[in-house]
Amino acid sequence: MDFDHSEKVERLRVQLGDFMRFHIEPANREWHHEVASGRYPVPLIER
């Protein structure tokens, strides 16, 4: 049996990885910093 991802799925995996790396991960660090500062609501969420 062939359990490899199709080309389309592999492209989507790369696209999702790039999105996570450039948008979600940096925002996650910022979110933790804002939460630690005690501000509510968290400005990052309100954008």
Quote the CA–CA distance of 9 and 13 in Å, as a whole number: 6
pTM over 0.75: no
- Tens digit of pLDDT for each residue in 4-14? 999 999 999 99
Cβ atoms of 31 and 42 within 8 Å: the answer is yes
The DSSP H or E segment spanning 28 is helix 25-36
The residue extents of the domains of the chain are: 16-46
Q: Which residue has the higher pLDDT, 38 or 46?
A: 38
Helix, strand, coil percentages for the chain (3-state, nearest 5): 70, 0, 30
Digit-coded pLDDT (tens) for 12-42 = 999 999 999 998 998 888 888 888 888 777 7
Which is nearest to 45 in space by CA: 22, 26, 27, 21? 27
- The label of the residue with tokens 């939460």 reads 35
